[in-house]
Chains A and B, each alone.
Chain A
Amino acid sequence: MIPRHQTILFALLLVASLAMGAALWHLRERAHQRLLAGQDSAPTSAPAVAPAEQAALLVANDSDGSILTQLHSLPLPADPGACARAVLGKLLDLYAAPDAAHPVPGGASSVLQVFLLPAPDLAGAPPADAKPKIIDNKVIVNLSRFSRASTSPSSPQDARQSEPQLAVVNLSSSFAASHPSGIETEMLTVLSICGTLHANLPRVTQVRFLVDGKQRATLAGHADLTRTYLAGNVVPSDRAHP
């Protein structure tokens, strides 16, 4: 005959085993739920691609020394710095194409970075749009029609957002080394970069250049890279067909 205390012990152990089994099942379910919840917040889908927008590129032409405006559709990031780099990359891709009217090797990878800073006040410099540059007697086109955002400032924040900016374009040394030498061809490259920046980012009124992060005297022996260029002075040709 089984002693009474052994029966009670067996019953207790059985109850404990069942309770532990139930607890284990419950914990397993909770862990499973937590795992499912974690999977939902994981970035399982690809990041949204920036929508393609029309960008105005001021494309140079060596044959007649003109700068023509061309509209291209390309993904433009919301961040202004990335947007500036994207449009310049597209511009330099056009120049690197085999049938380019202004052939310059390098392509999009030649633009290392574009930094956007508050524009310093250039003493004596007229407003960018007030002092047009005359290239080959071509007429002036108001580039602001290509602007992506043009609102009059109504609050301090808006005013801050409409303040003029200085774009610092950092080019690669291989681009400068392989650029054709000459006053005309170098100035066409510089002016088309300045004009393209202003056309797509109207707040960019001044442009400076670096090569591999350092200041350089000239692009390829002629175009002065130590000065600040007024981006609004670049004038595309009247033969532009947007």
Chain B
Amino acid sequence: MPVMLEIRSFPAAWNRRLYLWAFTALVVARLALAAAAQPAPPAPQSRFVVVLDAAHGGDDTGGRLANNQLEKNFTLALSVRLRSLLAARGIQVVTTRDSDMTVEPDKRAEIANRADAQACLSLHVTESGSGIYLFASPLAPAAPARFAAWKTAQAAWVTRSLKLEGVLNSALLQAGMSVTMSRTSVTPMDSMTCPAVAVEIAPEQSAAPDDSGGLNDKNYQARVAEALAAALLEWRTDAGRTEEHQP
């Protein structure tokens, strides 16, 4: 009799455990089947942001151009045009100003640094000289640091800024424009923690008296904007390629 009781109680305890294991196995199997049925999720695409800094604005009118135009209006128009072109290519754009407003240089750098951008372009226009001028920071390259001095924060990025300057140069040359590359200190570029280049647009070398090739030539403006957009697209491809090669 005691043996009978023993036999009856043993399977009852194991049954509960067996049910529990079976249920767990079923859930795991269901999840595994579901995972196998779905296609593999795409690798998380790296975020690519471009900062467009339309120079001047508000009280700071910048230079006075032909036909009494102000530099601040020209840079804003170029920034808006370029933003549209980049957005159409799927590039996220952050602008330092969208209207005729005063933005302090430090604020511009702050906006760029918060955006964690892969490219920062500061847009300028001039009546002097000819073609497109590209400026990178003159700071000596430095290793990235946890805390960087505000006035020389660009030092850790200057190598990539020079590469970006090269990509812009290639695209503009391909578009048939004359380009001059240089290094100079332009506020607020030295405080930006991103690959940063100042782009200054002057009339074309072959600008005619009827203003074809001049700053007011819509065709010239469109060509410049298209070339800059193409360069940034190329820069995004290069950035993706670099990430792929990184361990």
Residues of A whose CB lies within 8 Å of any CB of B are: 62-65, 131, 133-137, 180-185, 187, 220-222, 224, 227
Contact = CB atoms under 8 A, between A and B. Distances in A.
29 contacts: A62-B129, A63-B129, A65-B129, A131-B140, A133-B183, A134-B183, A136-B180, A136-B181, A137-B181, A180-B126, A180-B127, A181-B71, A181-B126, A181-B127, A182-B63, A182-B124, A182-B126, A182-B128, A182-B129, A182-B200, A183-B124, A183-B126, A183-B135, A184-B129, A184-B200, A187-B184, A221-B56, A224-B185, A224-B186
Given A181-B64, A184-B200, A221-B63, A65 B182 contact: yes
Nearest to B71: A181
B62 interface: yes
Interface string B198-211: 10101000000000
B133 interface: yes
A184 B126 contact: yes
B187 interface: yes
A133 B126 contact: no
B56 A184 contact: no
Contacts of A185: 126, 128-129
Contacts of B56: 221
5 closest pairs, A vs B, by CB? A181-B63, A182-B126, A185-B128, A182-B128, A180-B128
Nearest to A191: B184
Contacts of A133: 138, 183
Given A65-B182, A133-B138, A184 B128 contact: yes
B193 interface: no
Contacts, number: 72
A102 to B, nearest CB: 8
A62 B200 CA distance: 14
Contacts of A180: 63, 126-128
Given A133-B138, A183-B126, 15 more contacts: A64-B180, A65-B180, A134-B182, A134-B183, A135-B182, A136-B180, A137-B181, A180-B63, A182-B63, A182-B200, A185-B126, A185-B128, A221-B62, A224-B187, A227-B185
A137 B181 CA distance: 8
B60 A221 contact: yes
B137 to A, nearest CB: 12
Given A65-B180, A136-B180, A221-B60, A184 B186 contact: no
Contact of A220 (B63, B125, B186): B63
B96 interface: no
Residue of A135, A136, A184, A185 most packed against chain B (CB within 10 A): A184
Contacts of B63: 180-182, 220-221
Interface in B137-188: 138, 140, 180-187
B62 A181 contact: yes
A19 to B, nearest CB: 88
Nearest to B105: A217
